[in-house]
Amino acid sequence: MRTVLIVDDEPQLLRALQVNLQAEGYRVLTALDGLTALTHAETGDPDVIVLDLGLPDINGVDIITRIRRTRSTPIIVLSARHGSVDKVRALDAGADDYVTKPFGLDELLARLRVAGRRLTPDVGEQGSTIDVGDFEVDLANRKVTRDGIAVRLTPREWAILSLLVRNPGRLITQQQMLTKIWGPGYDSETHYLRVYMGQLRRKLEDDPARPRHLLTEAGMGYRFEP
């Protein structure tokens, strides 16, 4: 049973989501404010967090930043803010997905399923380690090290990196990456990829502005060069 933490300052929406997700088999934790959310994120060990940005006490982006200091739990932002600036800020802080209000329950359930699949280890990757000198990717154990030091990646960063390193030298188109990692219906959200690739380069490349391994093919997609 997956545990979902829902954070929203609208009691009626919170209750409705709790009832519906429990009916789908989820264990549900709820929070009406940021402080309670941070407590549940630390002590409740949720598998996925659904987070509203407009909370009464702590800004939602600040909550994402604080959670990312210690945890890589998938975070789905649920917000009435439709602007691309808000989306990019949330993604850059470490969110994995962004759902705008109003939304359909089926859409949220689909995104929860995508987040849940990222929690399930891949089969058949025992001993699959890619060492490119600058960093090392252990696919079986979902670990990345750089100069012998563990690198903390968000679930979405890991999904992108693992897809690329499993296909060395091969161009992965933007649409292929978005569909595989975010799911159908996301093939035009290319700004997601720009944000996450930038984060990966800052964490893994010696010179993020001139990457050697995580390459962009302008207007087409991305390529991993060992």
Task: Grade residue 113 by pLDDT with cuts at 50, 70 and 90.
Answer: confident
Residue 122 confidence (pLDDT): 44
Provide DSSP, 125-145. -TT-EEE-SS-EEETTTTEEE
- pTM more than 0.75: no
Task: Grade residue 83 by pLDDT with cuts at 50, 70 and 90.
Answer: low
Cβ–Cβ under 8 Å, residues 170 and 223: yes
Nearest Cα neighbor of 24 from 110, 115, 121, 120 is: 110
User: What is d(CA 21, CA 50) in angstroms, rounded to the nearest whole number?
Assistant: 12
pLDDT higher at 87 or 36: 36
User: What is d(CA 30, CA 41) in angstroms, rounded to the nearest whole number?
Assistant: 10
Letter for the amino acid at 215? Answer: L
Q: Into which CATH architecture does domain 3-117 fall?
A: 3-Layer(aba) Sandwich (3.40)
Cβ–Cβ under 8 Å, residues 155 and 118: yes
DSSP tag of 178: H
Question: How many H-runs (helices) and E-runs (strands) does the chain carry?
Answer: 8, 12
| N-term to C-term CA, the chain | 38
Q: Where are the domains of the chain?
A: 3-117, 129-224
Return the percentage of the chain with pLDDT > 70, whole number: 93
User: What is d(CA 99, CA 97) in angstroms, rounded to the nearest whole number?
Assistant: 7
Cβ–Cβ under 8 Å, residues 135 and 204: yes
- Tens of pLDDT along 152-194? 988 888 989 998 998 888 888 888 888 888 777 777 888 888 8
Task: Grade residue 123 by pLDDT with cuts at 50, 70 and 90.
Answer: very low
The Cβ of residue 87 has, within 10 Å, a number of other Cβ atoms equal to 20
User: What is d(CA 113, CA 2) in angstroms, rounded to the nearest whole number?
Assistant: 10
Burial class (CB in 10 A: 0-12, 13-18, 19+), 44: middle
Q: Would you state the structure tokens that stand for residue 95, as one six-digit string?
A: 């969110």
Cβ–Cβ under 8 Å, residues 221 and 177: yes
Q: Into which CATH architecture does domain 129-224 fall?
A: Orthogonal Bundle (1.10)
